[in-house]
Amino acid sequence: MLYLPTDTDVYIPSGYEISAVRQHVKDVSIKVELLNYDKTKQNPWIVIDSLEGALVSDNFSMDNGSIQRRNYSCTLCVSDHARKINKSSILSEYLVGYDKKIWIDKYIRVYYGIYSMKLKEIIWWRIGTFTYTTASYTFSATECNLSLSCADIMCNYDGTKNGLIHQTKYDNVVTGESVVGFSIPAVNYKKDSNGVEIKDSNGERIIESHNKIKDSIIATLTLAGITDYYVEDYPPEADLIPYDLDFTGEVIYSTVWTSLRDLYPNWEFFFDVNGKFIWRKIPTGLNERAIIDDSLINDIYVTENTSNAFTGIYNCTEVWGKTFTLSNQDRYASS
């Protein structure tokens, strides 16, 4: 069996994989693992069962521009897993319930597979780790189907299913008022044994340390109960919180992560196919060799559509305004 690696790895398809996708006759399979998440462990994903049944239909989509990168939906025929009781009610492990396979705390990991004629076995590609957003079970004289809509694990932290951060009181540095919300300060001030800030002879608070972006990210992940993560190192000159990040009212984790990400350009965060939280600089592809080229694409693509628009083109553009030249004190970086 072969599995697609994490998004942080350089994935190089093997000869067997390329041969399988080039087969004129493809025997396609799907496999769905049922998972529990144990936040007390470094590797928190525990396979507890599988969702088995004849696949009626499914749909997978991916959008790198969204923090919820992957979405998956499917309909399974699960008639072999349901039976009648007293000729009236239905007992099924696929009914929604806290002790069933379909519940709010369960996760699934989906694989697509192609039977390899050379290996004489199925080659599996992992396409994502998801959590349920909706689930419906339909039983009638003609059908016994389970329909699932699943979303990226990020939905647990962007307000779709959950994600609220525990609110605390902090002092707003601008107004001086005590407000309720969440704050990531730029600096930490020295305090005495009673927790009172120490001031110098001029009455100014003494800075003890500057908060780093990476440390703040890891702190929020710990607060969220995420133990399986990869956070790339920031350059030393760009690893400091430049100003206090204050969030008032109800705050969700994705809002805080977005503010941290946008402090400097070209960074991203997401959950990969394994359910691992990834924070990294966006790869540019510069000077990286091509893993798949036209020699493979030409053999496997089915359709291709190209469209061009020639509207909205203007021969002359006039800009009204003034150009300001910034000094070194007006910016955080020179490039």
The pLDDT tens digits for 66-104 are 889 999 998 887 766 555 555 455 556 666 777 777 788
169 band by pLDDT with thresholds 50, 70 and 90: low
Query: Which of 169-173, 319-323, 330-334 has the largest mean confidence?
Result: 319-323
Q: Is residue 271 packed enough to be buried (19+ CB in 10 Å), middle (13-18) or exposed (0-12)?
A: buried
pLDDT in the model for residue 237: 84
233 band by pLDDT with thresholds 50, 70 and 90: very high
The yes-or-no verdict on residue 205 having pLDDT over 90 is no
Q: 255 — phi, psi (to 5°)?
A: -65, -45
Determine, yes or no, domain membership for 129: yes
Determine, yes or no, domain membership for 256: no
Determine, yes or no, domain membership for 27: yes
Q: Which domain holds residue 26?
A: 15-155
pLDDT in the model for residue 177: 67
Mean pLDDT score, 8-29: 82
pLDDT in the model for residue 172: 62
Determine, yes or no, domain membership for 93: yes
Based on the structure, what is the number of domains in the chain? 1
pLDDT digits (tens, 9 = 90+) for 289-312: 777 778 878 877 778 888 888 887
Q: Is residue 297 packed enough to be buried (19+ CB in 10 Å), middle (13-18) or exposed (0-12)?
A: exposed
Determine, yes or no, domain membership for 110: yes
Determine, yes or no, domain membership for 84: yes
pLDDT in the model for residue 82: 56
Residue 110 · residue 128 · CB < 8 Å: yes
d(CA 153, CA 272): 9
Mean pLDDT score, 270-274: 92
